Amino acid sequence: MKSWSRVALLGAVAATALLAVPAMEHADAQSQNDTDTYRQLSLFGDVFERVRSEYVEEVSDQELIEAAINGMLTALDPHSSFLNSKSFRDMRVQTKGEFGGLGIEVSMENGLVKVVSPIDDTPAAKAGLQPGDLITHLDGEPVLGLTLGQAVEKMRGPVDSDLTISIRRQDAEPFDVTLTRAVIKIRSVRSRMIDDIGYIRITTFNEQTTTGLHSAIEKIKAEKGDKLTGYVIDLRNNPGGLLDEAISVSDTFLEQGEIVSTRGRDPENASRVHAKPGDLTDGKPLIVLINGGSASASEIVAGALQDHRRAILLGTQSFGKGSVQTIIPLSGQVAMRLTTARYYTPSGRSIQQTGIAPDIDVPLARIEKLDSSQARREADLRGALNNPNGNGAAKPETADGEDVAPPPEQADYQLARAIDLLRGIDLYRQRIVN
């Protein structure tokens, strides 16, 4: 192996070449910079050799070099980092939004992998896996002792490869199922109808997000048509993702105007992105839910819709990540994530560290029903006048006399307030028209 002094010398020469300035008037300053660079590289070489030879446990040169590179990047800001081959591969899976796998959403329960839900039209769904199934073995190897991440890594693999999983299902004998891995697309968009309101939840921004959003909107429009009151776009706890997808999602709701601008170290590399004509929601009212977990790409969407007064933001202050990271591939199937720019909302505000303030602040809360059985009403008073139109409507009860349970969305206080606001806007518009 080459001596470290030799490597340091080559590094110093390379650094000198990169820092060279052709202008003669800067020669002295450049020479001083070259000397300082060589001194620092020599210091790094000394530390490297001492750790290599004297650390309490043997550490490979690769581990030390990668740790040093990662330390250099993480010292810059919380979002710059080094991606080794595994991290780089996982990152590409996350941003691409598809991978070779079985098609199940899973969690961990008592050391076993629990099926939360099989994804439609995937090997797991076609094989009849059910929510609540427990996966005990993967290709005969026990799951017990693995972390959830390790188990998921084993379930993913090349498309068309087989995996035998052992299932324990309630009220049934344990059984094995052999599944053939297929291309699985990560669902970043989920939607449903809440009466006359379209609810769309965006969990992350990957390459599938815009397509999923357009499909959700078209499905909602086909179901309700002109009876649709509006949309709730839920960006709570969305950590962000691809900048291009955030721009495309914002463009879905905007007819014109700037969406976002980015400014880096070189002013000449600043960029501005504008919306193209066409609002897929036909101008219907929008409520966007945000909270402290809404970050980066989520804040781009929320900021653009707020600045253009296209939506009302409801919830709590967002996270405040106003920087752009670029993935730069390096040799050896590794890469680095480097912060290269800050982004700004259409009004020119940077949300770095400050976040986006909602238009209506609604903290997370729990709805509890109060006992109203002791409350007195007019009808309870002695000698109260009768209603000339009849005896009045009775309190709605179930067959067993208990109060009717509230719908599931009422358990989500912020979502419930968003629905109330949309219905209030619709009612007000109807009153104005009439």
Residues belonging to the active site: 296, 307, 321
Q: How many H helices and E strands in the chain?
A: 10, 19
Single-letter amino acid, residue 159: V
CB 146 within 8 A of CB 179: no
- Residues whose CB is less than 8 angstroms from the CB of residue 269 and which lie 6 or more positions away in sequence, other chains included: 341
| Burial of residue 377, with CB atoms counted within 10 A of its CB: 0-12 exposed, 13-18 middle, 19 or more buried | exposed
Q: Residue 103 in contact with residue 182, Cβ under 8 Å?
A: yes
Q: How far is CA 126 from CA 98, 104, 114, 118, 166, in A?
A: 18, 11, 18, 9, 16
Q: What DSSP letter does each residue of 62-127 carry, written as one string?
A: HHHHHHHHHHHHHTT-TT-EEE-HHHHHHHHHHHHTEEEE--EEEEEETTEEEEEEEPTTSHHHHT
Element (H, E) at 247: helix 243-253
